[in-house]
Structure 1
């Protein structure tokens, strides 16, 4: 079906910062939109957002240049064209941009258009987006890894580590899993309040208290799990994203928000080993920084058989970098973020490469999110088995959970819940 029109506009993400929304209309009248999210803790190798830099608008964060690129150059290239598949559409955008990191048109513009194209084809065919992405006989519903305590760059508190998550995996389906997670989330709020802690939330909807230590964050979560009526490690386990690239300081990792203590790569691995053997932790994301490849190898050799070791900043959803990690035996799982690579087809390529080589895939939002629910369909389409899209509140987070509830109901017997098997090595 030929493209009748494509347009873009400047809209807002969950932080109130501008981002790009693209809208595509086909000749049959089908219309759909896509919105690009934005991250705060970003890897050096990520595809690049295009921001205006005009300090008189949105403190320089405007995206009018990226919007204009779609409304002018991209529109001229696409109007009247038909594409056999997502990859051929995305390749036109990649070729138009002409840079290795999508910096000229902006990954925020390119991704918005790429998502809109996937969505409009689903609308035209009258099928769900997950089927448009990958057609299967049966699908796996994911375990929701809910970010219940925020730290690092996602909160103004004294916690060095960015995300403390719960994974309610002992459930018959996604509907019951999200119920379990929400019950723990609300129990945790009461527990923190009773202890005299602040219960405001950070960028991703998790609580952002000042605690006595990073360890106390896990301990209070485990207490909340028990008070909600569940067994830590059996019903609900813990996942971590310390975002250690943000802690890298002249060859060491610095606890920059708490005690200023510095750790070598080996000492960080020893820290994680102690935590994993003390607490019911099933997943560790970015346990070491994006450029610490030797440290990652040590961590993988020591902990890779015990826990899911997810690479975010080190892989950046980039197939060529993922392949290097596979060749070097780094990690055992890849975080998947659409805007790290910048198109839907390259994202699917990254997932396929990882899964074909025995790596898990952990589908992720960004801290600057929107109402766009594409990642909910993506995690189902790819059978990735787990997703993180924030905590148990804020509409830009729970919109993904709500979409997954709709998908599970629609699939009926054609869906199975991933459960604890997702995390097993």
Structure 2
């Protein structure tokens, strides 16, 4: 009897399990899908039967979601600590690593800052990197768990919302502590004020401070950011790469789709602005104006030919410097550029033109020049003037004629980057009116953070274009939004690397995906620079094979003129009377 009851129980359990199986497979439409794929496979007769089945069932799997975000401290090209992020997703029920991205670090101060400031910045960088890694491994991985990696905007919104929340909490805590200190000081016994000694100024001499003060427009102070903000840049890049991997498309295509350009079937390769010479105020020599001299190939050339030309010019410059200055002339900086000690701007420009001519090329036809002036670094606040050379000072108005003269003497110059400070907005407008017909006026430092540019746009500084950099709190979504704003203003976009770069090739795909006109990755030297140029070459080759490549026909200079003033009340009344 006991054996019979056990057998009945076993049969009942087996029957119930069969019923659950029937319900499970029916609920998930397994029989219908099996029948469908078997019928399709029979008619199509694929060579790889199991590969066909694998592709079919993968298309029916649940979409991948972010499962884990991991952060770690690594080093950039200058040996400085920075943040790296990994993205792991759940796909087909299993956890899988999808992407790794490293944030480029940014140096707020120029290279010639005092040692104390440099040490303070290094300490702050170390603390901020550690805070970013902790944020990624803690609250960010929790916030992004289960989010679709192909939805770049949602991911970036989650990241920035969390950072803004943490910053608000930190600011409130700091304010509470400040008020507490003030209250404690007020509760202390008041001290007798020290008697002020009367100072008698010598007869006939004015008291100190009695002279008329000069109003000086000072440079904007360093913007306070949340210490862990670089987590946003690293995670945004890593998720963008994961999204492309999930969709099984080229990364630049994924960026293009994220920008809302779903039906784009042709891409235009950005033109390389290749750095060849560096100088500026922090460098030796009396010349201050040219911080960076860049060269560009002729528009319309295939990228591989253009890169070959500018690379030949770069190496020819090195040979000329070696013949003129010996081994020291061949030294390069962190950017890969040569750094000769020259006293005049003409020496740099003549050197480049000599190198171009030696290769039987023509300046202004085969090779063009761009100047990164970094005007904010050569401005003397006490004198309210720009020190273009040691001892040579120019007012902002003088700078217009100064630039016009240089461009007239060297017509190969087709771009000026940061020719004036942000504070000289009126003169900036006059400069654009004077030169924008034949020269790009591009803002880089005047638009310090992409997030602010998205909020404010060009503002009072209407320019031919803007140079966008991906670092700190900048996300992929903000780069896309900024590029859209620039395009709506009929201006051009340049994608630039920063001094503390990494070997990641992210920026190359980003530039192609958003349709940037120029890229500024540094010299054709050093691994972190060359990796991006090589990636551009690979993208160009792929697009050419697929018939999706379009080349630039020529330089199109967006003419920027001051806005037309509204008509006066008297003019309006005259017009009304004539009617």
TM over 0.5: yes
Once the two structures are superposed, the pairs formed by residues 12-161 of structure 1 within 5 Å of their partners are 12-28=75-91, 29-40=96-107, 59-62=123-126, 63-82=129-148, 85-98=151-164, 99=167, 103-104=225-226, 106-135=228-257, 136-152=264-280, 155=283, 158-160=286-288, 161=290
Aligned equivalents of 2:459, 2:478: Cα separation in 1 = 20
Match of 1:211 among 305, 320, 342: 342
Once the two structures are TM-superposed, the CA of residue 254 in structure 1 deviates from its matched residue by 3.7
Are the equivalent residues in 1 in contact too, given 2:230–2:472 (CA < 8 A)? no
Give unpaired runs (5+ residues) of structure 2.
Answer: 1-63, 111-116, 169-222, 258-263, 560-579
Give unpaired runs (5+ residues) of structure 1.
Answer: 44-52
Match of 1:418 among 534, 545, 552: 552
Match of 1:175 in 2: 304
Aligned equivalents of 1:113, 1:222: Cα separation in 2 = 43
Once the two structures are TM-superposed, the CA of residue 81 in structure 1 deviates from its matched residue by 2.8
Deviations 1:193-239 (A, max 9, x none): 11126221122111001013122111101111111221100011000
| Structure having greater relative contact order (Cα 8 Å, sep ≥ 6) | 1
Aligned in 2, Cα 1:199/1:41: closer, same or farther, shift over 3 Å?
farther
Aligned equivalents of 1:223, 1:305: Cα separation in 2 = 27
Match of 2:20 in 1: none
Match of 1:274 in 2: 405
Aligned equivalents of 1:59, 1:319: Cα separation in 2 = 25
Once the two structures are TM-superposed, the CA of residue 107 in structure 1 deviates from its matched residue by 3.4
Aligned in 2, Cα 1:204/1:41: closer, same or farther, shift over 3 Å?
farther
Aligned equivalents of 2:425, 2:304: Cα separation in 1 = 39
Aligned equivalents of 1:355, 1:57: Cα separation in 2 = 36
Deviations 1:382-403 (A, max 9, x none): 2212111001111111111000
Aligned in 2, Cα 1:365/1:423: closer, same or farther, shift over 3 Å?
farther
Match of 1:284 among 405, 416, 422: 416
Match of 1:163 in 2: 292
| Structure of larger gyration radius | 2
Residue 11 (structure 1) aligned with residue 74 (structure 2)? yes
Once the two structures are TM-superposed, the CA of residue 154 in structure 1 deviates from its matched residue by 7.2
TM-score when normalising by structure 1: 0.90
Aligned equivalents of 2:282, 2:272: Cα separation in 1 = 19
More helix by share: 2
Once the two structures are TM-superposed, the CA of residue 102 in structure 1 deviates from its matched residue by 8.5
Match of 2:12 in 1: none
Please give the secondary structure, in 2, of the residue aligned with 1:277: helix
Aligned equivalents of 1:54, 1:322: Cα separation in 2 = 31
Deviations 1:263-315 (A, max 9, x none): 11111122111111111111111000132222212212222222111011222
Question: RMSD of the alignment, in Å?
Answer: 2.6
Residue 303 (structure 1) aligned with residue 435 (structure 2)? yes
Aligned equivalents of 2:282, 2:514: Cα separation in 1 = 28
Matched residues, number? 415
Aligned equivalents of 2:505, 2:159: Cα separation in 1 = 22
Match of 2:377 in 1: 246
